[in-house]
Amino acid sequence: MQLALFIIFGALAVAGALNLLLQRHPINSALSLVVVMMSLAVLYWSLGAEFLAAAQVIVYSGAIMVLFVFVIMLLNAGEEERTTGSRAAYIAGFPGAAAIFCLLSFVFLSERHALGLANIGGHLDSGINNIAEISRVLFTKLLLPFEVTSILILVAILGAVVLARKEEQ
Amino acid sequence: MPAQVPTAYYLVLAAILFSIGVGSFLIKRNIITIFMSIELMLNAVNLTFVAFAHQWHQISGQIFVFFVMVVAAAEAAVGLAIIISIFRTRQTLNVDQIDLMKL
């Protein structure tokens, strides 16, 4: 069950990411990013993080991607023209990305047995659920950082309004 | 006996998504798509946090992902506002033509 879920939604996430890379119209890239985020939500759920799965759907694919699609439509963004890109990207960027991938995969796969197996639902069968666990830590031990993030959001809203406002002559 | 998945496979999937994000950050020329590939990289890192939180039976990884989501939402709002004001002054979304601060 978990293997089937992992294969289906992992393949869907990788296919969506590759489609983001290959599509030339921004709206197609945005919609394939929604596919990636929805399949990641299923993977979070299979790892026992139900709250994060719901937050991923609501915040990422619900709010952030709608904002992206709004901006794409507002600016009437057309197909991008392919240019050669910068030389630094070819010399340092792509070998660097490939090296990161190879290093991470090598480390993770060689430590496969130490990392163990993932059970569907995880440690949720202990009688207390995920949301209760998260909120207990968030509202007691981490109350100050939680309040600070609300100020961060407020500042971000104000900044977005100021930046996107039309300048009056 | 349900088939189980090694945690390492989730981490390798996150590494694949992160590398695709880095690659499309370098290839893409549209500033909105570049911004979307940054979101893809953030999501890949979130997947490793959740996988390790599952592995070590700790809730702190999931709380870290929650804060990353909050910061990503704030970043998306401000970043898209900056993109709108760039488009208003320069009439283009191509990063090759937005090179005022390039050496």
What tokens were used for B90? 């320069």
Read off the pLDDT of each residue in A81-90 and give the average, rounded to a whole number.
71
Residue B22 domain-assigned (yes or no): yes
- Total structural domains in chain B? 1
Provide the H-helix boundaries in A23-166.
26-46, 50-55, 65-75, 87-88, 94-110, 112-115, 130-140, 143-164
Cα–Cα distance, A30 to B45 (Å, whole number): 19
Q: Return the minimum-mean-pLDDT range out of A84-98, A110-124, A134-148.
A: A110-124
- Written out in words, the top-level CATH class of the domain with range A2-80+117-124 is mainly alpha
Most confident of A88-97, A103-112, B34-43: B34-43
Angstroms from A73 CA to nearest CA on chain B: 11
Residue B103 domain-assigned (yes or no): no
pLDDT at residue B48 in the model? 93
Q: Which domain holds residue B40?
A: 7-97
Between residues 46 and 75 of chain B, which touch chain A (CB distance below 8 Å)?
Answer: 46-47, 50-51, 53-55, 57, 59-60, 62-63, 65-67, 69-75
Using CB atoms, which residue from A43, A83, A163 is nearest to B96?
A: A83
- pLDDT(A128) > 70: no
Cα–Cα distance, A130 to B30 (Å, whole number): 39
Read off the pLDDT of each residue in A74-85 and give the average, rounded to a whole number.
75
Most confident of A76-85, A90-99, A114-123: A90-99
CATH of the domain at B20: 1.10.287.3510
The separation between the first and the last C-alpha atoms of chain A, rounded to the nearest angstrom, is 62
Backbone angles phi, psi at A4, to 5 degrees: -65, -45
| pLDDT tens digits along A133-159 | 888 889 999 999 999 999 999 999 999
| pLDDT tens digits along B15-35 | 999 999 999 998 888 899 999
Task: Name the pTM for this structure.
Answer: 0.90
Using CB atoms, which residue from A116, A123, A166 is nearest to B7?
A: A116
Q: Which residues of A touch B37 (CB under 8 A)?
A: 20-21
- CB–CB contact A160 B80 (8 Å): yes
| pLDDT tens digits along B32-75 | 999 999 999 999 999 999 999 888 888 888 999 999 999 999 99
pLDDT band of residue B1 (cuts 50, 70, 90) is very low
* ipTM score: 0.90
β-strand A117-118 against B5-6: which pairing, if any? antiparallel
- CB–CB contact A156 B75 (8 Å): yes
Q: Domain extents for chain A?
A: 2-80+117-124, 128-169
The distance from CA B26 to its chain's CA centroid, rounded to whole angstroms, is 13
Q: Which residues 6+ apart lie within 8 Å of A100 measured at CB?
A: B15, B18, B19, B22
Provide the H-helix boundaries in chain B.
7-27, 31-56, 60-90
The distance from CA A138 to its chain's CA centroid, rounded to whole angstroms, is 21
Residues in chain B: 103
Residue B2 domain-assigned (yes or no): no
Residue B102 domain-assigned (yes or no): no
- pLDDT(A125) > 60: no
Cα–Cα distance, A93 to A154 (Å, whole number): 35
Q: What angle do CA B19, B49, A139 make, to 5 degrees?
A: 145
- CB–CB contact A17 B28 (8 Å): no
What does the DSSP 8-state code read for residue B5?
E
